[in-house]
Each structure stands twice: as structure tokens, then as C-alpha cells.
Amino acid sequence: MGMVLFSPFLYAHSPDLSSLMIYEENGKTFLVIKSSIAAFEGEVVYLYGKESYKTPQEFSELAIEYFKENCFVAINNKTIKFINPQIQLGHETTLFAELQHIPKNINSIHVKNTLFKDMPNNLCELILILKGLPQKQYILNNKSRHEVNLKLEKNKWSIEERSNANVTSNKFILIGSIISFIFVTIVFTQRKSIS
């Protein structure tokens, strides 16, 4: 799949488009999410209700809380903490946070961003710019469940496909539950008709 760099103009005008960048600057690692104010507002109102905020400050606090619950980064299978998340409101809204305890040697990155999952056709461009590592772009969307597992092999990022084992076992559990329910219902119905 060819990667497309969305222009900042599009982020500001379309609630379906966003970007998530992880980059290094002055020895620190940051995460930045950009999208339209309409996208952030739509999710906050959908989750918390129209009356949930009265001031830009209250809105910012709700948006940051929502971010903490819906954005996840793991490096080398260790969850990374976000420090001091902040949001700059505007036509194009920017949320940023510092990432804490980044390992010196990175061999895998897992990113999940469900901030705009309720937008039907949302696309989030993930951009990785980390010192000493190859740059990577990837589109998070409904099909990818808004997440990606990247593994570094021979100085190239490869996408690690998620195992279908969990999906398969969940299907068997669901089928087993349905069969058990039907069996119990039949037995219960027959007992009632006998007595």
C-alpha cells in the first residue's frame, strides 16, 4: 500500500483525517496527534455529552482524559507512559505528550490510537521519526483496528500480523455458549412439559 502524506490543510478541515507522529528532539521522545477541532469535539461530545464542558479549559481536560484512555504505545513489549499531555485548540488541534523511559535499543513498536474510532471513515497517518532508526509511515484505520505492531529487522520496519488464534478461540467459545444455551433450554422445556 502506498503511503500518502496528508497535508496539514486536510487535518484542519476533515474530521476523518488525523496524524500521529512519534519523534525525538533534544534527547526526548514526543508523541503528537493532529486533527480538526471537529474531530476532537465530536468524540468528546459523543462520549461525555454536550453539557460536559462550558469552557475551553474544561474541554481540553476532557480531550486529554479521552486521549489517555484511547492511545497506547508499547516499545519492546513494555507500555510507555505519557508525561504532561497538553492540547492546543484551534482549527487544526494538536495534542502532544512526552514519552517516558524509552529504551536505547528499540526492536518493536506497538501503536494503538482509537481517538477517532467513532468517525466512520477515519484515517490516521502514523509517522515514526526516531534517531538511528528508519522512518516509517503507516495508515491506521477501521480495517487495522487502529493499531499496528512493527518489528525492526535488518534496519527495516516490518508489520507483524496479529494472530487469529484469539479470534478463533473466541468464536469457539461463542458457539459453545450458544449450543449450551440451546441444550439447557431444551432440557428445561422438556422437564416443564413432563411435570
Helix axes of 37-48 and 56-70: crossing angle, nearest 10 degrees: 80
Three-state SS at 164: coil
pLDDT over 60 at 125, yes or no: yes
Please report which confidence band the pLDDT of residue 195 belongs to, taking 50, 70 and 90 as the band edges.
low
CA distance 61 to 69: 13
Instruction: Please give the share of the chain, as a percent, with pLDDT higher than 90.
Output: 67
* pTM (predicted TM-score): 0.75
